[in-house]
Structure 1
Amino acid sequence: MKYPRTFHLPGSPGATTDDRVQHDLSWLDGELVVTEKMDGGNLTFTRDAMYARSLDSGTQPWDRPAKALWAMTAHRIPDEWRVCGESMWARRSIAYTDLPGVFLVFGIWDETNTLLGWDDTVDWAQRLELPVVPVLYRGGSLSEACAAWSRQRSEDCSEGYVVRAAGRIPAADFDHRVLKWVRAGHVRTEASWRHRDDFPINEFA
């Protein structure tokens, strides 16, 4: 199943004419979680397969370490669940020096096509022995949530952030309850790196 498009927050500098911006923020009420938007490649682990944004997208050379990790993890993923995260082995626009793993979980979908609440996401990631993306804020203020990234990160070392409702999110509500803010010109690599075998890699803790 294809990973849903994440809409931009109003004022997100990285939004282009091809992107969608969510202006109705009324759904972001209650407890919120802000995670760092990592500069990696979107991957999904299921019990039976590993793929990028859609089932027919295949895998790339820079996903080899993540594929090896999936092979060791797949049997523990419940049927019809999808574990989604960033493939972090290849270095893209940001050079990371202390990553906790080659695959960082940012969301898990259950068999009802519902995104697990954040606490359950962390719990399941721990059961699967997979690290999660960094958390920058948790609380009830949208303004504080949106300010958390700039207090802890800069555009030189971070692509942006994702703010989501802390609880369970049905697929139909995703475009209102999971939004992103992305730095301007966030893709800063030459497209040719994808056609090379000697692409740079990140560093890990």
Structure 2
Amino acid sequence: MVKYPRTFHLPDSPGASADDRIQPDLSWLDGELVVTEKMDGGNLTFTRDAMHARSVDSGTHPWDRPAKALWAMTSWKIPDGWRVCGESMWARRSVAYTDLPGVFLVFGIWDETDTLLGWDDTVDWARRLELPMVPVLYRGGSLSEARAAWAAQRSADRSEGFVVRAAGRIPAAEFPMKLLKWVRADHVRTEAAWRHRDDFAVNEFA
């Protein structure tokens, strides 16, 4: 099992903490870009043989049980050595969603060479696996337009932020330069105690 790599912040990301990494060099974000909404969920990886959180030894949390049931129905279609990564969305965290398309939203797929698929191939494979994806806010060749897309379509009280990535394939070595995030200030707005309760709030689905 492979741990999902750390996503670096854009230089002006207000939610970056002292422990986060910031990418000052944006020259790698040239060519076609895709901006997706950064969902307020839990990072999960589906493989053919297992499902795990970002920490591969974390086990299955109660709020990931619906996603695990989905994995059990989907895993046989995932190619050997591939990793389907997304957000576990059943539990409500800091953002209350009311019309989610599913309990697990795909944001990236890695192949057996440890390369993140290009966006078009990601969309194609998500369809083959019958898994919904995170919302796309922008696709085009302008970094300034890409950075402005979230503010034009979302607000900080209802969205955690955005992710901007190169539309093409991204080898693991280039991931820290070609996929970056912008996170709102004080993005964690829930008490940690919810993780120790059985009656945690859940999101609403379309």
Residues in 2 aligned to 1:56 and 1:119: alpha-carbon distance in whole angstroms = 31
Structure 1 partner of 2:61: 60
User: Does residue 19 of structure 1 match 2:13?
Assistant: no
Instruction: State the distance in 2 between where 1:40 and 1:29 align.
Output: 29
TM-score, normalised to structure 1, is 0.99
Mapping of residues 28-177 of structure 1, within 5 Å? 28-177=29-178
Amino acid paired to 1:93: S
Distance 2:82 2:88 in 1: 18
Q: CA RMSD in A?
A: 0.4
CA distance in 1, matches of 2:22, 2:56: 26
Identity %: 84
Deviation at 1:57, TM superposition (A): 1.8
CA deviation string 1:94-121 (max 9, x = no partner): 0000000000000000000000000000
State the TM-score, normalized to the length of structure 2.
Answer: 0.99
How far residue 61 of structure 1 moved from its aligned partner, in angstroms, is 0.1
Separation (CA, whole Å) in 1 of partners of 2:162 and 2:198: 30
1:87-145 deviations in whole A, cap 9, x for unaligned?
00000000000000000000000000000000000000000000000000000000000
Distance, in Å, in 1 between the alignment partners of 2:57 and 2:81 is 17
What CA distance in whole angstroms lies between the structure 2 residues aligned with 1:128 and 1:109? 14
The SS at the match of 2:97 is coil
What SS is found at the alignment partner of 2:37? strand
Give SS of 2:187's match.
Answer: coil
Structure 1 position 194 matched with structure 2 position 195: yes
What is the SS of the residue equivalent to 1:2?
A: coil
1:4 aligns with 2:8: no
Matched letter for residue 87 of structure 1: S
Q: Deviations over 1:2-51 (max 9, x none)?
A: 10000000110000100000000000000000000000000000000000
Higher mean displacement: 50-59 or 147-156: 50-59
| Unaligned 5+ runs, structure 1 | none
> Structure 2: which 5+ runs fail to align?
none
Structure 1 residue ranges (4+ consecutive) displaced by more than 4 angstroms after TM superposition? none
